[in-house]
Structure 1
Amino acid sequence: MEHIRFYPQGDQAITVSFGDEINQELHEEIISLTKLLDLEPFPGMIEAVPSFTAVTIYYSPFDVKRKYLNLSIYEDVVMQIKQKLQSKKVSRNDPPTIITIPVCYGGEYGPDLTEVARYHKLSESDVIRLHSNHEYVVYMVGFTPGFPYLGGMSERLATPRKQTPRVAIPAGSVGIGGRQTGIYPLESPGGCQIIGRTPLQLFNYNKNEPTLLKAGDIVRFKPITAEQYDEWDGE
């Protein structure tokens, strides 16, 4: 636990930092703690939110059941989290959830596919192959509800963001921004190079679990035709 640091976020949250680099080993530690807190929250805990290198834990200071009366509420929460980190219940061996995302690449659904191919001196089919032949790790969800930050894209597809962002990108759009790829769950502004679109709904506030993807999941992209997209969209 020498690499782990604790930082207060006001009087109702604490950030547990696992380091400064984005890598798979730290990601597994972050997901492990998040899952354990979801399964066994301490009294007063509201939510655990994972990010690239940390977990921020929100709690109600009025509802925390203190175990160490000689400590402040914040220090008490730190001690309870440290106990969970030291627990044998923190396991990194749980298999991740694998989700296949159908994507219609190019055309009206991927208006920037041609530009991305031209930038890398590749054919459009090469871009599709490189993008869909990888497995991606969901490192965190944010920006807009359900937006997944994915790691694992081929370096050969790293493409600068647009100099002028679009005012509105359709929900389901799959884009490349720098060395990352992501999916827009909702219509929103954005500067990614849009190479395709999925008919799947990534965010639905009417469901008990409104987001399709969560941190720790594995994403695979599956190319589909425009006809398949239209049929899927109709369903």
Structure 2
Amino acid sequence: MTVQDCAPPHFPRIAACGDTALVVELSDQIDEGSNMRVVALAHDLAAKPIDGVVETVPTYRSLLVVYDPALVRGGLLAKQLRARLAEVPSANGAQRRIVVPVLYGGPVGMDLDQLADMKQMGADTLITLHSAAEYRVYMIGFAPGFAYLGGLPDILHTPRLAVPRQRIEASAIGIGGKQASINSVAGPSGWRFIGRTPLKLFDPARDDPFLLRAGDRVRFRPVEAEEAAALDLASAQGTLAAEWERP
């Protein structure tokens, strides 16, 4: 192994991902600054498209850029992306902020009491800590509309379950390691779940099926069972409007 082999990688780094995509890596760490640049580049490409680019997919620290090789070659696109990166600001301007109502505990939030015991606090204290934080949607993935959230208070960081459960309902509010989450569809999960929201993160019947997108800010608002039931009814009828805050 040479000294060059041990040298740290230089960023940004652009690499081929098959023959129809490039991945633009902005860091080898997960941090808000790198993610803000990823989202800013995605927004910039949407606002000022490059011919041949079909789709972009933001992740924690990189942007997948899917292209049509009949319209643009990968080498030329890489040069265009490097040039674009030099012009893109570190953030994408005003961020959307959403307030997510949460019914904590109950059958879907089956881990609330156990997690509170693990942290040597009451369930009410855990709810207060969880709902007082502001979260950033780092990326959408795993399932359609599934939101990975950064900003979970350190005291609530908790390892995932050793054995995943086979089914967790859609709209469940979870904790996994250093992250928080909102389930979009029902499915297996090893995360720990402390509540649920009447909001649907993924609804193919909506004009925009995905409620959240990378870069959004999220706050959780605790609700009682009566309000949750009313919100559930509105959600089932398709009349539940998301509560967006002004930046």
TM tier, smaller: over 0.9
Give the superposition deviation at 1:92: 2.0
Give the superposition deviation at 1:188: 0.7
Q: Which residue number in structure 1 is paired with residue 5 of structure 2?
A: none
Alignment of 1:83-94 (within 5 A): 83-87=83-87, 90=89, 92=91, 94=93
Give the superposition deviation at 1:84: 1.4
Matched, 1:77 2:85: no
Secondary structure of 1:109's aligned partner: coil
Q: Which residue number in structure 1 is paired with residue 145 of structure 2?
A: 146
Structure-2 separation of matches of 1:74 and 1:109: 46
Q: Which amino acid aligns with 1:51?
A: T
Structure-2 separation of matches of 1:173 and 1:207: 20
Q: Which residue number in structure 2 is paired with residue 29 of structure 1?
A: 37
Which runs of 5 or more structure 1 residues have no equivalent in the other structure? 65-72
Whether contact under 8 Å (2:56, 2:65) holds in the other structure is yes
- The C-alpha deviation readout for 1:5-49, integer Å capped at 9, x for no partner, is 010011100000001111121111111101001111211111111
Structure-2 separation of matches of 1:208 and 1:59: 25
Q: Which amino acid aligns with 2:211?
A: L
Q: Which amino acid aligns with 2:35?
A: H
Q: Which residue number in structure 2 is paired with residue 133 of structure 1?
A: 132
- The C-alpha deviation readout for 1:117-137, integer Å capped at 9, x for no partner, is 011111000110010000001
Q: Which residue number in structure 2 is paired with residue 194 of structure 1?
A: 193
Q: Which residue number in structure 2 is paired with residue 114 of structure 1?
A: 113
Q: Which amino acid aligns with 2:40?
A: S
Q: Which amino acid aligns with 2:53?
A: M
Give the superposition deviation at 1:162: 1.7
TM-score by length of 2: 0.88
Q: Which amino acid aligns with 1:169?
A: I
Whether contact under 8 Å (1:84, 1:90) holds in the other structure is no
Deviates more, 1:122-131 or 1:100-109: 100-109
Matched, 1:232 2:240: no
Q: Which residue number in structure 1 is paired with residue 15 of structure 2?
A: 7
Alignment of 1:148-187 (within 5 A): 148-187=147-186
Structure-1 separation of matches of 2:92 and 2:198: 32
Cα distance change on mapping 1:45 and 1:93 into 2, 3 Å: closer
Cα distance change on mapping 1:93 and 1:185 into 2, 3 Å: closer
Q: Which residue number in structure 2 is paired with residue 55 of structure 1?
A: 63
Give the superposition deviation at 1:80: 1.3
TM-score by length of 1: 0.92
Q: Which amino acid aligns with 2:193?
A: I
- The C-alpha deviation readout for 1:44-88, integer Å capped at 9, x for no partner, is 111111111100100111122xxxxxxxx111001111221123x
